[in-house]
Structure 1
Amino acid sequence: MKLIKNEKKKKADEPRPNLTERIYQQLKQDIFTFRLLPGDRFSENEIAERVEASRTPVREALTRLQREGFVDVSFRSGWQVKPFDFKQFEQLYDVRIVLELAAVKKLCEMEPGPNLEDLKRIWLVPTEDRLEDGPTVCALDERFHEQLIEATGNMEMARIHHDITERLRIVRRIDFTQKLRIQATYDEHAKILRTIIERRTEDVKSYLKTHIEASKAEVRKITLHMLYEAKHQQSEN
């Protein structure tokens, strides 16, 4: 009991910006892992009790998630995890494709060529050295696409791309629950890298678009299945 009291005191003494950030990260993770399902409703009081904090940092964290498009608020019914909007996801994928096609075109034309050594060390490896942990490969996949944009030197493009990546993460990570998709990601990333190095602009644009379109189609299919499974499991608990 003394340990619990000390822990609560420690949380109460936590500076509010740090507390807000911790609650924000916890809620975002709950959404990404379907502990909070799309469509779920909850109150600020419920969250405050769960994270052992006052309503103020909870509201600040939820407002940040609302700006990022993960939750909505209603005067009458409180907060809600936004239901999946597949039309919006498809639009985000379309913008992502435009940005990345422009990036690889520039990378193929740059003088001197871009520095892709970090990406080569991760993706141009023997089959036996490939990672198999889904969340780890998912994070590396995000960085692969972000680093392609960053390698162009256009930081405004990188900022926009990062925002799109954040908004797509909830569905993209589901793509990496399947071993075959993990292996396909290695194969396709290696192909894209080699083609950039060889400065084959039209080929790399074709490979990249096919790569993203395949992920886009697979994510939608897996997400529908995963949501059904998550809701079924929740109803049994």
Structure 2
Amino acid sequence: MQISSPNNTKERPDNLVERIYQQLKNDIFEFRLLPGDRFSEGAVAQRMEVSRTPVRQALYRLEREGYLEVYFRSGWQVRPFDFNYFEELYDVRIVLELAAVGRLCQLEAQSHPLLESLKATWLVAESDRLDDSKTVSALDERFHCALVEATGNGEMARLHYEITEKIRIIRRLDFTQEPRIAATYEEHGRILSAILQRRTDNAQQLLKAHIEVSKKEVRKITLHMLHVARQRAQLKSVNP
């Protein structure tokens, strides 16, 4: 187990909790903390040179979000990957987004501010496309959230965002390969064009296919990255 250490500076308690939370989350996302790794609050506090109270608050926040599990007698554990769980979340996401696209294709207004914003991001010349994986990952997430938000159904948008948060740990890996970035621009462009042209069936088919491909890709990439991370951890334990 390897946990990065934040800057040891005086700061407000809530800011300190947020800093520890973000650092631990990054360690999980970057596989410095591997699924199944166990650790104690004391070990984290000592490594980060902070007290146990803000560490505990950060850990419970990560536990509520599904990244950690707590064992009251043996500390904390990074939650093992359960691909069946993630696939169920993807299935619910597809249902919500298909419903959203159906509503958007029935809009009476000629345009919608959120759709206009998406056009400016995705319907661009190839030379104007971004290639930074983290930036494109954030924009991809925003694309799908905006489709649901544009329906005007706040509860639907809330449920969708909760699912988005839960799958972010693996979904962001879809953009670690350049071909997937290019494919995302192409696929988002076709989905958006179909919505703007009120071609409901076509837009829904394109959207479903887009998410299904992404789901398969992130599973494959996640398994590969976990394998590489575990090999590194084994080598480090042999040659500390």
Query: Under TM normalisation by the shorter chain, which class is it?
Result: over 0.9
Q: 5+ residue gaps in structure 2?
A: 1-6
Is the 1:114–1:152 Cα contact (8 Å) retained in structure 2? no
In the superposition, the TM-score normalised over structure 1's length comes to 0.93
Structure 1 match to 2:183: 184
Equivalent residue for 1:114, pick from 112, 115, 122: 112
Following TM superposition, by how much is the alpha carbon of 1:236 offset from its aligned partner in structure 2, in angstroms? Answer: 2.2
Inter-partner Cα distance in structure 1 for 2:118 and 2:32 = 33
Q: 2:55 is paired with a residue of what secondary structure?
A: helix
Following TM superposition, by how much is the alpha carbon of 1:175 offset from its aligned partner in structure 2, in angstroms? Answer: 1.0
Count of equivalent residues: 228
Following TM superposition, by how much is the alpha carbon of 1:109 offset from its aligned partner in structure 2, in angstroms? Answer: 0.5
Give RMSD over aligned pairs. Answer: 1.2
Q: Within 5 Å, which residues of 2 pair with 1:206-225?
A: 206-225=205-224
The structure carrying a bigger helix percent of its residues is 1
Q: 1:73 is paired with a residue of what secondary structure?
A: strand
Q: What letter is aligned with 2:174?
A: D
Which segments of structure 1 move beyond 3 Å, counting only runs of 4 or more? Answer: none
Inter-partner Cα distance in structure 2 for 1:151 and 1:42 = 43
Is the 1:107–1:114 Cα contact (8 Å) retained in structure 2? no
Structure 1 match to 2:90: 93
Q: 1:132 is paired with a residue of what secondary structure?
A: coil
Q: 1:109 is paired with a residue of what secondary structure?
A: coil
Q: Within 5 Å, which residues of 2 pair with 1:117-128?
A: 117-128=116-127
- The Cα offsets for residues 132-172 of structure 1, whole Å up to 9 and x where unpaired, read as 11111111100010111111111111111111111101111
Q: What letter is aligned with 2:64?
A: R
- The Cα offsets for residues 57-108 of structure 1, whole Å up to 9 and x where unpaired, read as 1111111111111000112321010010101000000000000001011111
The yes-or-no answer on 1:149 pairing with 2:148 is: yes
Q: 2:105 is paired with a residue of what secondary structure?
A: helix
Is the 1:123–1:190 Cα contact (8 Å) retained in structure 2? yes
Inter-partner Cα distance in structure 2 for 1:181 and 1:43 = 38
Inter-partner Cα distance in structure 2 for 1:162 and 1:51 = 31
Inter-partner Cα distance in structure 2 for 1:226 and 1:131 = 24
Q: What letter is aligned with 1:91?
A: E
Q: 1:72 is paired with a residue of what secondary structure?
A: strand
Following TM superposition, by how much is the alpha carbon of 1:20 offset from its aligned partner in structure 2, in angstroms? Answer: 1.1
